[in-house]
């Protein structure tokens, strides 16, 4: 996998894995750190929607549920579009025990498969690099009891 077509970010959270799992899979908890509103059918093939008041709604389809180890979804690169091959990327969260609590890694792949020119693929990736940096910081703050 070409690093320029993927994003990887790892954070360590001072919280048990069960709390981190809930924060990334429970719609009410997701909405505390990832957008303002979330709907999620937590089953493979289930639909999800993550809504930001200022950006719109990112629609997704769940691709993996392995509680409390991994959670994944395919989401559309454009707001308010259904995710299909050519307009979407794959996001996968993995959770593991860490001496300080839980290590959470998010990997997003498939920017090179978007039906866009290379410059637009890179712009989409760069936007999400910034997005995951901010969102995971908000997740850590949320789990540490400080709503970001």
Report pLDDT for 103: 98
Read off the pLDDT of residues 30-71 as tens digits, 9 standing for 90 and up.
999 999 999 999 999 999 999 999 999 999 999 999 999 999
Q: In the structure encoding, which two tokens stand for residue 109, read together?
A: 């792949």
- pLDDT above 70 for 132: yes
Q: CB count, 10 Å around CB of 45?
A: 9
* Alpha carbon distance 48, 68 (integer Å): 19
User: Comparing C-alpha atoms, which of 77, 79, 74, 54 is closest to residue 64?
Assistant: 74
For residue 121, what is the DSSP state?
H
Say what percent of the chain tops pLDDT 70. Answer: 96
Look at phi and psi of residue 99 and say left if phi exceeds 0, alpha if psi is from -120 to 50, else beta.
alpha
Name which CATH class applies to 6-144. alpha beta
- pLDDT above 80 for 4: no
Asked if residue 120 has a cis previous peptide bond (ω within 30° of 0), the answer is no
Binned at pLDDT 50, 70 and 90, residue 147 comes out as very low
Report pLDDT for 5: 87
């Amino acid at each position: 996998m070409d690093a320029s077509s993927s994003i990887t970010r790892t954070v360590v959270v001072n919280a048990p894995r069960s709390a981190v799992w809930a924060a990334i899979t429970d719609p009410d908890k997701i909405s505390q750190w990832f957008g303002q509103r979330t709907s999620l059918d937590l089953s493979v093939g289930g639909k999800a929607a993550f809504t930001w008041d200022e950006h719109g709604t990112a629609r997704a389809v769940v691709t993996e549920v392995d509680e409390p180890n991994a959670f994944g979804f395919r989401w559309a690169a454009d707001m308010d579009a259904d995710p299909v091959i050519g307009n979407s990327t794959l996001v996968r969260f993995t959770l593991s025990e860490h001496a300080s609590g839980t290590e959470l890694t998010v990997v997003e792949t498939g920017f090179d498969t978007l039906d866009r020119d290379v410059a637009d693929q890179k712009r989409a990736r760069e936007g999400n690099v910034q997005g995951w940096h901010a969102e995971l910081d908000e997740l850590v703050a949320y789990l540490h009891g400080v709503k970001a």
